[in-house]
Amino acid sequence: MFIGVRVRRLIGIFLFMLALYFFIAMAPFFSRLLYPLPYKEIIVEHSHRYNLEPQLVAAVIRVESNFHSGAVSAKGARGLMQIMPETGAWAAAQVGMNDFAPEKLFDPLVNISLGTWYLQDLYRNFSGNTYAALAAYNGGRGHVKRWLEEGIWDGSRENLEDIPFAETRIFVLKVEKAYRRYHQLYNAEEL
């Protein structure tokens, strides 16, 4: 049976519009596949305990380990939030965790508990400056403190290019991007 050119075009436009509607309607579902939130309960509990946004903690975890609890960096950082064993031991002592051992950093509960405490401590240390806290999380508290004191970097988003460590600049930008997506996909009522 012969279908005219106009009818085929109309059918094509209709199918395209239907596909577009389906894609838009399903976009949050697909986006959540790209930006999952494993360990949601642990992230939410410890984020709230340490007065952090769960979306920010999820963004740090995504950038640090992509939610792989067994991740180990080339420098030896471990677990979801990529905590160095020495930092983990120090943080554990601060929160009264007496049975800390470096292999516990692979346990999501321990890792997120210590990582959120540490991130909150950096926030406190840098007067609530998110960019300085994130830079310190990646590049080290001492380095960021020196950069700020010596005027190398002013702690602002606008001057991230002044951060001497390229890895730290990239880390902060990646966390910021992931944070925006998590904030779009997971609202405050949900978390």
- Where do we find the tokens 């002013």? 154
Please confirm, yes or no, whether 103 is among the known catalytic residues.
Answer: no
Distance CA 173, CA 158 (A): 11
Task: Find all residues with CB under 8 Å of 140, minimum gap 6, and list them.
Answer: none
Distance CA 76, CA 84 (A): 6
> Is the distance from CB of 155 to CB of 129 less than 8 angstroms?
yes
- Where do we find the tokens 């405490």? 117
- Which position among 41, 45, 53, 64 bears the catalytic label? 64
Q: Return phi, psi of residue 188, to 5°.
A: -60, -35
Sign of the CA dihedral with 43 first, then 139, 159, and 117 last: positive
User: What is the set of active-site residues?
Assistant: 64
